Amino acid sequence: MATEPLTAYDMTLSDHGFEPLEMKGLTYPLGDHVPQYGEVYPLAPDMGWTRMPVPGNLNHINIWLLSDRDEQGEGYAIADTGLFMPDVIAEWKKLLEGTLSDRRMTRIFVTHFHPDHVGCAGWLANRGKVSIWMNRTEWLMARMLVADQRDEVPNDVLIRRRFSGYSEAQIEDMRVRGFGNFARAVSQMPTGHHRLDDGQHVRVGGRVWQIVTGGGHTPEHACMVDHHNGVIIAGDQILPRITSNVSIMDSEPDADPLGEWLASIAKFRALLPPDMLVLPAHGSPFRGVHTRLDILASGHLERLDRLEAALREKPHRAVDCFALLFDRPIDETVFGLAVGEAMAHLRHLERTGRATVEEIDGVGWFTAD
């Protein structure tokens, strides 16, 4: 993966010899091919793709390796890092002591603060003696949540769960499990970072990446856009087959994350050309970014209409909205995420004047005229 300045590289990936796959308006240039854990697959002469395991249905996170150069010479940068858990650490050690053993780490880019993205960042930064490059808000969120680990669940959190419709048994279960599970999957972060701002341009090896932030999934999720070569490292901002969770967060209980998410979809659609290659955090590289952004937007708008119609029939709590919003059964493993997303949709209806809420005995009941 050389770092000499490159002419625009043909990111059709046709030279890899795989049969492209067409599905739901998207094109997957590599078909069904994905790298195995411990394998670095060359997407381009200066860009590698590997994966790290994630428990549950998510299964994996994509990691991108970018040829880089600094004052010490040639090396590679990492974009996103995986969960800080034994299986992932073992896979990283295989890579660092095997395929990457003759190369030097230069820096670590993290798209956002969620544990599957930032989890190993501190551990890798310490091992490679390199800096972490993140958006300031995302950095502070990660630092805050790593530090905020305690046995007792804050009372205001319990009040908000009751407002959403949690049963007393579920609230008691929260008390038993404690608070601050974030830190269990995230390594200790360094005390400082290199800030990434929206609109900033960063040279990595022979490429120049524009930082473009989006909101809703997290406050300032940072994507990396290489306009010259027509590629975006999209993190969770643009996924090909699943929809990123958009939830009310305890740190901003009165925010409108769905409004931010819809605005971000419009922002990216206006910025990106329709043929740009998308490198998502989950799933495979694909083309058809406008089609995918349109699907993401229309999916939420349709669910908002469906939810508003149901609220006209009778009041709903957040926990009553699952069948209207999700195409899968909601069990305890995803219950919290489902409640957060239901609250985001209800809050957006309230913020846009399409619904009202009344609190009765600590529970929020949403209605529409």
Q: How many CA atoms lie within 13 A of 272 on its CB side?
A: 35
What distance in Å separates the CA atoms of residue 115 and residue 110, rounded to the nearest whole number? 10
Answer yes or no: is 285 within a domain.
yes
Domain count, the chain: 1
Q: Which of 14-18, 248-252, 279-283, 289-293 has the lowest mean pLDDT?
A: 14-18
**Radius of gyration of the chain from Cα atoms?**
21
Q: What pLDDT, on the 0 to 100 scale, is given for residue 16?
A: 55
Answer yes or no: is 340 within a domain.
no
Answer yes or no: is 207 within a domain.
yes
* pLDDT confidence tier of residue 5, bands split at 50, 70 and 90: very low
Question: Which position has the higher pLDDT, 328 or 10?
Answer: 328
- Token pair 């769960």 is found at 161
Question: Which position has the higher pLDDT, 222 or 3?
Answer: 222
Q: What pLDDT, on the 0 to 100 scale, is given for residue 149?
A: 75
Sign for the CA dihedral angle at 287, 288, 289, 295 comes to negative
Over residues 159-191, the pLDDT tens digits come to 999 999 999 999 999 998 888 778 889 999 999
Q: What pLDDT, on the 0 to 100 scale, is given for residue 2?
A: 38
Helix axes 121-128, 86-97, angle to 10 degrees: 30
pTM above 0.85, yes or no: yes
Answer yes or no: is 111 within a domain.
yes
Answer yes or no: is 8 within a domain.
no
- For residue 60, the domain's CATH number is 3.60.15.10
Q: Which of 61-75, 173-187, 195-209 has the lowest mean pLDDT?
A: 173-187
What distance in Å separates the CA atoms of residue 327 and residue 319, rounded to the nearest whole number? 15
Query: Is residue 138 pLDDT above 80, yes or no?
Result: yes
Answer yes or no: is 76 within a domain.
yes
What distance in Å separates the CA atoms of residue 177 and residue 238, rounded to the nearest whole number? 33
Query: Is residue 296 pLDDT above 50, yes or no?
Result: yes
Closest CA to 281 of 221, 334, 209: 221
Interval 127-152 mean pLDDT:
93
Answer yes or no: is 173 within a domain.
no
Q: Is 177 helix (H, G, I), strand (E, B) or coil?
A: helix
Phi, psi of 53 (to 5 degrees): -70, 150
Provide the domain limits for residue 249: 14-152+180-310
Answer yes or no: is 365 within a domain.
no
What distance in Å separates the CA atoms of residue 319 and residue 331, rounded to the nearest whole number? 12
Q: What pLDDT, on the 0 to 100 scale, is given for residue 13?
A: 43
Q: What pLDDT, on the 0 to 100 scale, is given for residue 244?
A: 96
What distance in Å separates the CA atoms of residue 8 and residue 253, rounded to the nearest whole number? 45
